[in-house]
Amino acid sequence: MIGHHHAELLKRYAIEPKKSLGQNFLVNDVILGNISEFIDIESRHVIEVGPGYGALTERLISANPASLTLVEYDPRMVAILQDRESKHEFDFAGTLNIIEQDVLQFDPKESSLLIANIPYYITSPILFRFLYEVALVPTEMLILMQKEVADKITKQKGYQNSYLSLALEHGCDILEKRFEVAASNFVPAPKVDSAVVYFRTKSEQTSPEKTKSFLKLISQAFSQPRKKVVSNLANGGVGAKEDLEAMLLEFGIRADARAETINLPDWYRIFDRLCR
Ligand code: SAM
């Protein structure tokens, strides 16, 4: 059911959602409240990615952040956000910045909390950018994404390790699926359900060079996920198959293991042995 307030805003601005920008607006006030209450926002620097017409923005503002930076790609949405700001609908004691930009080009100016209801097709690029490419990595991230991707990266519903789950775990102390959001809570309703995932990033990040070679090793190990990990690594020129098998056995891992059965601490041991 679409909340009255959202119906009014969609009508006021004659909003026509653009499919190519993944515009599915969250219109359930209970869920918007859950998202904004879930995390401590007061006095923090908050970045909201893809604010659209500002449904979640209002909630974030009422929780009194020190600053709120909105990064939105669609100039039509930016104009709406600016109009709403001029009508005092976004008033609060902190600073509001409205930035028209592709989030994949955006660099945070402070250590921040990042909140995003983003188009599904840029979930992974956004995560990789904010974990491994920007100078000021957000301390926490709360991201609404496709439910299946949330299950995959948090290894629920039978999913094991994958390149994506390990690559994200590498940069985070906490990575948890918090709650699911049914497709019917969006306008227009997407084909699949969503889930909110919480990330707390590591305060000490690994150096970018080391992270790059670590991700390269994992990506090689998963190049053919159904094959044995030793075959994938040997094919990638990482070492001779027999030596790799001996190393796995030494680490208490089966010689015929597949990459998905090996957890992050063991990947670090493998990396330290092979890539020093
Ligand atoms: N947060 C709003 C809500 O919950 O109603 C809108 C969410 S909608 C799923 C995604 C938003 O991200 C849209 O407003 C869209 O224009 C914006 N967007 C799409 N691609 C983007 C990009 N590369 N950078 C920044 N914003 C983007």
Q: What is the pLDDT of residues 13-69, one digit of tens each?
A: 999 999 999 999 999 999 999 998 889 999 999 999 999 999 999 999 999 999 999
pLDDT score recorded for residue 183? 97
In this structure, the answer to whether residues 19 and 89 fall within a common structural domain is yes
58 with 183, same domain: the answer is yes
What average pLDDT does this structure show over 207-226? 94
Check which CATH number belongs to the domain holding 255 and give it. 1.10.8.100
For tokens 């190049």, what's the residue? 223
Mind giving me the DSSP string for 127-160?
HHIIIIISSS--SEEEEEEEHHHHHHHTT-TT--
The dihedrals phi and psi of 220, each to the nearest 5 degrees, come to -65, -40
User: In the structure, what pLDDT confidence band is assigned to residue 206 with cuts at 50, 70 and 90?
Assistant: confident
Q: Residue 22, by phi and psi: left (phi above 0), alpha (psi -120 to 50) or beta?
A: left
> Quick one: DSSP state of residue 101?
S
> What is the predicted pLDDT for the residue at 275?
85
Domain end point (choices 201, 227, 258)? 201
Tokens of 3: 């909340």
What confidence tens digit (pLDDT) does each residue in 164-201 have?
A: 999 999 999 999 999 999 999 999 999 999 999 999 99
Q: How high is the pLDDT of residue 114?
A: 98
State residue 204's pLDDT score.
Answer: 85
Per-residue pLDDT at 57: 97
Instruction: Provide the CATH number for the domain around residue 29.
Output: 3.40.50.150
Residue 72 CB less than 6 A away from ligand 1: yes
Question: Which of 185, 201, 217 is a domain's end point?
Answer: 201
Q: Which two tokens stand for residue 7?
A: 């119906």
Q: Are residues 119 and 247 in the same domain?
A: no
- Overall domain count for the chain: 2
Taking Cα atoms as reference points, which of 133, 138, 145 lies closest to residue 50? 145
Q: 252 and 179: one domain?
A: no
Over the stretch 109-164, which tens digit does the pLDDT of each residue have? 999 999 999 888 999 999 999 999 999 999 999 999 999 999 999 999 999 999 99
Q: How far is CA 32 from CA 14, 36, 115, in A?
A: 22, 6, 12
103 CA closest ligand 1 atom index: 24
Find the 119 Cα to ligand 1 centroid distance in Å. Answer: 6
Does 159 share its domain with 71?
yes
Confidence check: pLDDT of 276 > 80 = no
Closest CA to 269 of 204, 200, 217, 208: 217
C-alpha span between 179 and 170 (Å, rounded):
23
Query: Ligand 1: which atom is nearest the Cα of residue 71?
Result: 25
Q: Pairing mode, if any, of strands 95-100 and 140-146?
A: unpaired
Q: What is the mean pLDDT of residues 200-225?
A: 93
Rounded CA-CA distance 161/264 in Å is 9
Residue 32 is predicted with a pLDDT of: 94
Range of the domain at 261: 208-275
Ligand 1: which residue has its CA nearest to atom 3? 25
Looking at the structure, tell me whether residues 24 and 150 fall in a common domain. yes
Q: Domain check: are 216 and 180 in the same one?
A: no
pLDDT given for residue 255 in this prediction: 97
Q: What is the pTM of this model?
A: 0.94
Task: Assess whether the C-beta atom of 26 lies below 6 angstroms from ligand 1.
Answer: yes
Place of tokens 């004659």: 14
C-alpha torsion angle, residues 118, 122, 125, 130 (rounded to 10): -10
CA of 106, closest atom in ligand 1: 24
56 lines ligand 1 (CB under 6 A): yes
Domain identity same for 30 and 164: yes
Kindly give the distance from the C-alpha atom of residue 74 to the centroid of ligand 1, in angstroms, as a whole number. Answer: 8
92-101, 170-179, 203-212, 263-272: least confident range:
203-212
Residues 216 and 163 in one domain: no
Give the end of a domain, one of 170, 201, 232: 201
Assess whether 224 and 193 both reside in one domain: no
> Helix (H) and strand (E) counts for the chain?
11, 9
Same domain membership, residue 178 and residue 227: no
Distance CA 267, CA 262 (A): 7
Encoded tokens for 145: 């994404």
- Residues shown for the chain: 276
Indicate if ligand 1 lies below 6 Å from the C-beta of 65.
Answer: no
100, 189: one domain: yes
pLDDT at 160: 97
Q: Residue 14 CB: number of other CB atoms within 10 A?
A: 7
